[in-house]
Amino acid sequence: MEKREEILIGATNVFMSYGIKSVTMDDLARELGISKKTIYLYFKDKNDLIESILNEHLSKDQNRCIEVREDAENAIESFYKVISMVMENMGRIHPSVFYDLQKYHPKAWVKVEEHQTVFVREVIRRNIERGRQEGMYRADFDAEILAQMYVKLTDAAIRREIKDVQKDDLAHVFNEIISLIVHSMITEKGKQYISQKQKDQDA
């Protein structure tokens, strides 16, 4: 593994665990067991490091999303598998990371927003097309509007504008959003599929 990649992986783990603002480059060098000078051989500054981490993270997420989507037996399973992957990633991220990106690393945050508004929206739109072909989703709603609604709702959850008052649990908020979206789309065939899946899980 090249040194640059080692630093990226190590820095990602540190920032995801402790947040971004609270970790200085001195802290990071100490955590990684290297000199700060070594970090600056590969990255211009903290902003450059954060943007590089984000580019790597988003690229891997997009590739994994495509793999998960293609392995699913139908659109509903694909939807839930992709969301499960997203929530698994979210569970490893310190709560302050998104706030830190928005406030202190605006260029990096723009990449997050582009990922949401372009890639994620296209994933949802394609999922809707597939679900309609399979008879799982209704044909009487605007796919583009619903895809945009999903992006807006999840973005609001990430920004902590939507909260579970009792738990402040991001996973719970996401699950509620997904349940709302899926149940607004499904046909009777889709309902039967979900019902059977729940019975299989409970058995």
CATH number at residue 116: 1.10.357.10
Query: What pLDDT score was predicted for residue 47?
Result: 95
The whole-number pLDDT of residue 168 equals: 59
Cβ within 8 Å of residue 175, ≥6 positions away: 87
Low-confidence ranges of the chain (pLDDT < 70): 1, 164-168, 203
How far is Cα 189 from Cα 6, in angstroms, rounded to an integer?
Answer: 48
Q: Strand locations in 6-67, DSSP E?
A: none
pTM to 2 decimals?
0.83
Domain that holds residue 83: 3-202
**What's the pLDDT score for residue 182?**
92
Q: How many domains does the chain have?
A: 1
pLDDT at residue 154, as a whole number: 85
Alpha carbons 75 and 128: distance in angstroms, whole number:
7
Residue 193 is predicted with a pLDDT of 94
Hey, what amino acid is at 196? Q
Helices 3-18 and 46-71: angle between axes, nearest 10 degrees: 90
